[in-house]
Amino acid sequence: MVSLGTTRMAEFEGIVMFRRDYRERDMLVKILTDHYGFKMFFVRGARKRGFKLGAAILPFTTASYTGTINDDGLSFIDAVKDVAQYQQICQDILLNAYATYILGLVAAAFGDARPLGIWYPRIVAALAAIDHGLDAGIVTNIVELQLLENFGVKPNLKGCVICGRQSGTFDFSESYGGLLCQQHWSVDRNRMHLDQRTVYFMRFLARVDLLRLRSINLKEETKVKLRDTLDQIYNNDVGVSLKPKHFLDEMLKQNQNILKLRPGIDK
Ligand SMILES: [Zn+2]
């Protein structure tokens, strides 16, 4: 790799986030790269018939690219190899909504110019897990919980924020930024009043290693509560409002309605 100020030739891996038409024959492609974070690529001739890099710039494709990375402005792709696609994510609109939200959340946490470090392999693992059929809602919760730190919110899920006790009955307090043991519930009248199962899985999922996650199953009820809890934390404490999240919420609402209308339907 040669670095010349803000432009460098590089080999890098990436995940295509989205693309859009640009001018008459070209495209702009946003790729999450392993070492340079999110980058916008100008792909000349991408809309011409028979364009040879076509498969490498489809959303939810991973590949090894060779090209020019610019710190400011657009970057460029010269060659591509090892192209693969997250097939299930591409075919299933709900999985697609989850994956799009995850990428959007990471983009919100890191911005455009910052490398992701350990978060790149984590995101690759999260998308692969979803693609391989692990529960997309739980994988998303793991990403949300573990990303909180990158948004400047680092809830203490180890023990009571007042006395440090690590076992027993806990609740979560947004204003104290962490757990409260039952003895200290009185310090926050607005504690979240979570049930113990939800608290347990918040603590557990916050520590799960995405790179080693092979299977995970939770009760439907617990999943709904985790979703609500994380929505509350993201709305109140993080304060990001992402379009892909609103889209995902709509999809989930529609799914719920279908389930209500037809009890016993297979998911
Ligand atoms: Zn305590």
pLDDT band at residue 267 under the 50/70/90 scheme:
very low
State in Å: Cα 155 to ligand 1 middle: 15
> Which DSSP letter does residue 152 get?
T
Confidence of residue 3 (pLDDT cuts 50, 70, 90): very low
How far does residue 185's CA lie from ligand 1's centre (Å)? 8
Q: So where are the chain's domains?
A: 2-85, 94-261
- Give pLDDT, residue 262: 64
Cα of 144 from ligand 1 centre, angstroms: 26
Whether pLDDT at 128 is above 50 = yes
The residue assigned the tokens 């460029």 is: 76
Going from the Cα of 238 to the center of ligand 1, the distance in angstroms, rounded, reads 25
pLDDT level of residue 258 (50, 70, 90 thresholds): confident
Separation of 188 CA from ligand 1 center, angstroms?
12
Contacts of 249 (CB under 8 A, 6+ apart): none
Average pLDDT over residues 186-199: 96
Q: How far is the CA of 149 from the centre of ligand 1 (A)?
A: 22
- 143-177: buried (b, 16+ CB within 10 Å) or exposed (e) per residue? bbbbbbebbebebebebbbbeebeeeebbbbbebe
The residue type found at 47 is R
DSSP per position, 156-203:
EEEEETTT---SS-EEEETTTTEEEEGGGGGG-TT-----HHHHHHHH
2-85 and 94-261 have identical folds: no
- Higher-pLDDT residue of 7 and 96 is 96
Give 75 Cα–ligand 1 centroid separation in angstroms.
52
Fold held by 94-261: de novo design (two linked rop proteins) (1.20.1440)
pLDDT at 113: 77
Looking at per-residue pLDDT, the higher value among 263 and 157 belongs to: 157
Best CATH choice for the domain 2-85 from the list 3.30.300.340, 2.40.50.140, 2.30.38.10, 3.20.20.10: 2.40.50.140
Residue 158 confidence (pLDDT): 94
Tell me how far the alpha carbon of residue 168 lies from the centroid of ligand 1, in angstroms: 10
pLDDT at site 264 = 53
pLDDT of residue 102: 98
Q: Does pLDDT of 1 surpass 60?
A: no
Asked whether the predicted pLDDT for residue 242 surpasses 50, the reply is yes
Q: Ligand 1 centre from 169 Cα, in Å?
A: 10
3-state secondary structure at position 230: helix
Q: What is the mean pLDDT of the chain?
A: 93
- DSSP character string of 31-94: EEETTTEEEEEEETTTTSTT-TTGGGGSTTEEEEEEEEEESSS-EEEEEEEEEEE-HHHHH-HH
Q: What is the pLDDT of residues 56-93, one digit of tens each?
A: 999 999 999 999 999 888 999 999 999 999 999 999 99
**Which percentage of the chain shows pLDDT scores above 70?**
96
pLDDT above 90 for 260: no
d(CA 154, ligand 1 centre) in Å: 18
Average pLDDT over residues 185-193: 97
